[in-house]
């Protein structure tokens, strides 16, 4: 921030932004008294931030005004939240206190501002601390944010609005700071927005993330979207017309909206499915939003299914793409019917059917969910959000969870999906995707989990470690004299089940801790290290523990296995010998090591993490491991300068196409003779007339890679050529 006298243009910008806010705020305020409170909050904040500027040079007051605008338009919150958004930086950045806010605006607005101030204080302090004191600070920051879910979820919603506006103006940040903010955003804030049902907030943050993390990919996909929209716009209108006519004839009140997949969602699908842009066949979507004839859930649902029946008689449906989130809504409250239909122009279109209420909840998330709940419009599925918040509260208030563990637990919870399985009597139970039969046993009752010996899934006998799938019918087999086993913690997927097993074994604490201390010593020796007070301290710091005995107990139980040991050792850079391979010496002061998780090459957007002994680990900016590290060790992020190093880097290219005689020879010849590149591995398999496989080879930089992809794409029979992870 900087200080300089405002100009007439500055005052004009503030006034325009304020008027735009009041126009939308008036629709959320209950009466003139609330409108006056918002006006009073603006005037107070405006005076407090007078002559203060952001990095961009514009008046600082434009930021809280923009946050307040997001709070209204994107999230749908009311007067108190609008005021808190306007005031959210006053206590931290000026001489005013929370008590001053309380005296002027009352307890609730002061409480919201206090929660936001505490979050901001931790974030700012984090950037000022050194590495030794920061390793848990980011995790503590996110814990503080999530704790406000138990107090008042509006604090988190306003914080999401604040983060969204910071992302919108992130171009003015230095690169290392920008990467840190975007990594935090992807690791926690985007999944949090998704879980709270804020689709538009989530989508916008994802697209900003892609624009800066993978700028070339973002530009390429955006240009392809523009070209497709220009070519397909009339075809989409032609697709909609018969639907519109049929629904009007049936007497429905409705609107139809067109939309196209976002650049991020396309990029993500291309990356995870290993397909080119041309194979994103659900690129287009049409949304039907209808007004039910009365406010009963039965009528609303019935009309949704009737509309579905009407449109699926008009076009051929892809049955594998049908999704019914009305009979079983998502855990974030999302309800809709989805189907994918073949247009007469020969391309697939996804159709989403929602009532007005469903659409409000889909766009405004938890705020709309509770608004309808307070109006008495409740379905039997409306408790899903409340149940998730209760589970988060249990995790947050647990004393046996370190801040770093908490961050990983919450991240996993936020990004995980749920499946529905059935009891032997046909009762539905929602459980985390990937959960085992034993997780299900503990979900039913602790004693059933403790006494479980096996399970039957769809009438077939399976071990307790069996991973469940959607629609499975599960029966747990128990024995009176059975009891938990320590190896269970290695495959349990739900925190509740794992905690019940840990509690059971606390009675054997001393023996398990002694075994854990022995295991620690053996693993450290096998990793080429010596046990020391400093090394133990680093394990304690990572686990956020103070007592070595508790550390030994966790190791003895299997909670810190070989993979966790490797992660701790690698992140702390205590390794020697073979772990130092792939090091690039850029100068006499700093060494660079290529991360083995994502194998970046010169030309890729990259990010570095500094460790001990002047070593920087280089990751691709979009690497999920880098995102996780940045969310915990943001102070270690650096902008690496390693592109000038002359070296060959390993990459993998995946291929698909139509098999023919001489294809393998043409591919090999192009790579070795035309480009002069040595292949490390070539693997192709055929299925009838089709082939797919991959090539592993060494390249000097991204341009070298792009020439290869372009050339391979031109070989007769080759249809798909994409870079994939090794």
Active site residues: 92-93
How distant is the alpha carbon of residue 343 from its chain centre? 32
Cα 15 to Cα 665: distance, rounded to the nearest angstrom: 69
Q: What Cα–Cα distance (Å) separates residue 414 from each residue in 156, 194, 407, 638?
A: 14, 8, 10, 28
Give 3's strand partners. 52
| SS3 of residue 692 by DSSP | strand
Q: What Cα–Cα distance (Å) separates residue 85 from each residue in 190, 381, 536, 634, 667?
A: 20, 31, 44, 26, 59
Cα 2 to Cα 59: distance, rounded to the nearest angstrom: 10
Q: Is the separation of the CB atoms in 645 and 616 below 8 Å?
A: no
Residue 20 half-sphere exposure, CB side, CA atoms within 13 Å? 14
**Helical pair 495-505 and 437-444, crossing angle rounded to 10 deg:** 80
**Using CA atoms in the order 337, 339, 343, 346, what is the torsion angle rounded to 10 degrees?**
150
Structure tokens at 102: 């309380």
Burial profile 483-507: b = 16 or more Cβ within 10 angstroms, e = fewer: ebebebbebbbbbebbbbbbebbee
Q: Is the separation of the CB atoms in 455 and 478 below 8 Å?
A: no
Residue 493 half-sphere exposure, CB side, CA atoms within 13 Å? 21
Cα 614 to Cα 573: distance, rounded to the nearest angstrom: 10
Cα 235 to Cα 539: distance, rounded to the nearest angstrom: 60
Q: What Cα–Cα distance (Å) separates residue 611 from each residue in 317, 591, 617?
A: 54, 10, 8
Q: What Cα–Cα distance (Å) separates residue 12 from each residue in 22, 47, 62, 69, 156?
A: 15, 15, 11, 17, 31
Burial profile 694-710: b = 16 or more Cβ within 10 angstroms, e = fewer: bbebebeebebbeebee
Provide the 8-state DSSP code for 380.
T
Structure tokens at 170: 């992130």
Cα 374 to Cα 696: distance, rounded to the nearest angstrom: 58
């Amino acid at each position: 921030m900087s200080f300089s006298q405002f100009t007439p243009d500055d005052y004009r910008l503030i006034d325009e932004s304020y008027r735009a806010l009041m126009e939308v705020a008036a629709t959320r305020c209950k009466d003139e008294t609330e409108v006056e409170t918002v006006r009073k909050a603006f005037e107070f904040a405006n005076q407090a931030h007078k002559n203060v500027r952001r990095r961009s040079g514009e008046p600082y007051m434009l930021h809280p005004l923009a946050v307040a605008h997001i709070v209204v338009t994107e999230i749908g919150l009311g007067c108190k939240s609008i005021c808190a958004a306007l005031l959210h930086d006053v206590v931290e950045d000026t001489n005013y206190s929370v008590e001053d806010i309380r005296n002027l605006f009352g307890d609730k607005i002061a409480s919201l501002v206090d929660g936001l101030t505490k979050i901001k204080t931790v974030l700012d302090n984090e950037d000022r601390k050194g590495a030794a004191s920061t390793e848990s600070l980011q995790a503590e920051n996110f814990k503080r944010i999530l704790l406000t879910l138990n107090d008042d979820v509006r604090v988190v919603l306003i914080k999401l609005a604040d983060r969204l506006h910071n992302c919108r103006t992130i171009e003015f940040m230095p690169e290392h700071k920008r990467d840190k903010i975007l990594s935090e955003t992807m690791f926690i804030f985007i999944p949090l927005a998704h879980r709270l049902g804020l689709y538009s907030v989530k989508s916008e943050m994802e697209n900003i993330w892609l624009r800066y993390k993978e700028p070339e990919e973002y530009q390429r996909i955006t240009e392809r979207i523009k070209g497709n929209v220009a070519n397909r716009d009339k075809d989409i209108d032609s697709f909609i017309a018969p639907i519109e006519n049929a629904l009007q004839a049936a007497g429905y009140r409705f609107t139809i909206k067109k939309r196209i997949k976002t650049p991020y969602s396309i990029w993500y699908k291309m990356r995870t499915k290993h397909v080119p842009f041309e194979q994103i066949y659900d690129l287009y979507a049409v949304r039907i939003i209808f007004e039910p004839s009365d406010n009963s859930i039965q009528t609303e649902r019935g009309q949704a299914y009737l509309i579905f029946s009407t449109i699926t008689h008009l076009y051929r449906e892809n049955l594998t793409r049908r999704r019914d989130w009305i009979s079983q809504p998502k855990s974030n409250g999302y309800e809709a019917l989805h189907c994918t239909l073949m247009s007469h122009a020969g391309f697939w279109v996804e159709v989403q059917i929602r009532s007005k209420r469903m659409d409000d909840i889909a766009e405004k998330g938890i705020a709309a969910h509770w608004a309808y709940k307070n109006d008495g419009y409740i379905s039997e599925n409306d408790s899903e959000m409340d149940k998730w918040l209760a589970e988060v509260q249990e995790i947050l208030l647990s004393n046996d969870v370190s801040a770093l563990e908490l961050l990983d637990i919450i991240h996993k919870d936020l990004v995980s999906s749920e499946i529905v399985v059935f009891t032997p009597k046909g009762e539905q139970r929602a459980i985390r995707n990937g959960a085992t039969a034993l997780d299900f046993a503990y979900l039913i009752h602790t004693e059933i989990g403790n006494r479980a010996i096996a399970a039957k899934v769809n009438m077939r006998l399976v071990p307790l470690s069996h991973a469940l799938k959607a629609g499975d019918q599960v029966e747990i087999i128990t024995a009176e004299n059975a009891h938990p086993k320590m190896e269970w913690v290695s495959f349990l997927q739900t925190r509740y089940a794992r905690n019940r097993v840990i509690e059971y074994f606390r009675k054997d604490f001393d023996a398990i801790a002694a075994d854990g201390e022995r295991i620690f010593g053996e693993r450290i020796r096998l990793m080429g290290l010596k046990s020391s007070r400093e090394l133990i301290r680093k394990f304690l710091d990572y686990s956020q523990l103070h007592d070595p005995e508790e550390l030994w107990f966790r190791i003895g139980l299997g909670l810190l296995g070989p993979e966790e040991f490797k992660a701790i050792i690698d992140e702390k850079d205590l390794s020697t010998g073979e772990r130092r391979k792939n090091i690039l010496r850029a100068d006499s002061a700093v060494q660079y090591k290529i991360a083995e998780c994502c194998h970046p090459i010169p030309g890729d957007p990259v990010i570095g993490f500094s460790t001990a002994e002047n070593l920087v680990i280089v990751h691709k900016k979009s690497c999920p491991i880098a995102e996780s590290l940045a969310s915990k060790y943001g102070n270690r992020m650096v902008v690496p300068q390693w592109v000038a190093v002359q070296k060959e880097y390993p990459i993998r290219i995946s291929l698909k196409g139509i098999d023919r005689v001489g294809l393998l020879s043409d591919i090999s010849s192009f790579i070795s003779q035309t480009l002069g590149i040595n292949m490390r591995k070539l693997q192709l398999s055929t299925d009838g007339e089709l082939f797919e496989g991959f090539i592993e080879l060494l390249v000097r930089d991204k341009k070298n890679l792009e020439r290869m992809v372009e050339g391979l794409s031109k070989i007769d029979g080759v249809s798909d050529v994409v870079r994939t992870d090794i």
